[in-house]
Amino acid sequence: MKKTLFAALFAACAFVSSANAEKLRFGTEATFAPFEFTDKESNIIGYDVDIIKAIAEVEGFEVEIVNLPFDSLVPSVLTSQIDGAIAAMTITPERAKQVAFSDPYYKSGISAVIRKDDVEKYVSLDDLATQRLCAQIGSTGSNVATKISGKVGNYNTVPEEFMELNAKGCEAVINDRPVNLYFLKQMKEDAFVEIKELYNGEDYGIVVNKKNQELLKKINSGLAKIKANGKFKEIHVKWFKVEE
């Protein structure tokens, strides 16, 4: 009897505390699998979604994920349309002038994908020097594409980039490597291949408004906690099948 009463009280408290938890809005661009994409029921899922939800859980807040174009994420944080952004976003000096980044949470790099028929034509990135390239608007991939050839078609979503590559509207897609690899793995026919040359050394960070140092602290503290309690590793293994 006592036990039941205790359980009921505990449940009531848990209900009150979750009802009172602050709900924060985090923006993302949900065509960037495996970091953020939609399932068959249009739920936004992925590595980043799991990371921010795990941080929220240990820090006692709730998260609403908002799907926005990638190049509108930083402006939306600046104008407080959203509280933060988690979008496989590389920590760059230019962005860090505008917004605050959390501690790095994922090491990435950039690669190029071409049509399989072109493997002999484009062996290295230099071979793409005069070609039209496809990238995501506002991304570091787009900056790399500009360095390689200067002729860049910018698209809002990853599927649009690959449709354009398939239609021969561009000769290569320049994206973050994990996204390119995930896309290639999901494809039934291997119509595309990756060039084995990379731009390495990008770190992803979670973005918040510089004025919101309190949230930045919570995010960094949450990241440290989920690294310490094994959740971070678990999420990595779930999406990348390897521990690291």
Catalog residues that contact ligand GLN under the rule CB under 6 A. Answer: 29, 32, 70, 87-90, 136, 139-141, 176
Question: Residue 132: which residues within 8 A CB-CB, separation 6 or more?
Answer: 149, 151, 152, 153, 169, 170, 171
Looking at the Cβ atoms of 70 and 192, the one nearer to ligand GLN is 70
CB of 144 to ligand GLN, least distance (A): 10
CB of 208 to ligand GLN, least distance (A): 15
Q: Residue 37, SS3?
A: strand
CA distance 109 to 199: 5
Residue 119 one-letter amino acid: V
Q: Residue 53 burial (CB < 10 Å; 0-12/13-18/19+)?
A: middle
CB of 68 to ligand GLN, least distance (A): 11
**Angle formed by the axes of helices 231-240 and 47-59, to 10°?**
170
Looking at the Cβ atoms of 48 and 171, the one nearer to ligand GLN is 48
CA distance 179 to 176: 6
216 conformational bin, left if phi > 0, alpha if psi -120 to 50, beta if neither: alpha
CB of 120 to ligand GLN, least distance (A): 29
Looking at the Cβ atoms of 154 and 209, the one nearer to ligand GLN is 154
Residue 36 DSSP one-character state: B
CA distance 165 to 159: 10
CB of 119 to ligand GLN, least distance (A): 25
Could you give the strand order of the β-sheet that contains 152-155, starting from the edge strand earlier in sequence? Answer: 152-155, 133-136, 172-176, 106-115, 192-204
Looking at the Cβ atoms of 62 and 203, the one nearer to ligand GLN is 203
Residue 128 DSSP one-character state: G
CB of 135 to ligand GLN, least distance (A): 8
Looking at the Cβ atoms of 142 and 212, the one nearer to ligand GLN is 142
CB of 138 to ligand GLN, least distance (A): 7
Looking at the Cβ atoms of 68 and 193, the one nearer to ligand GLN is 68
Looking at the Cβ atoms of 221 and 240, the one nearer to ligand GLN is 240
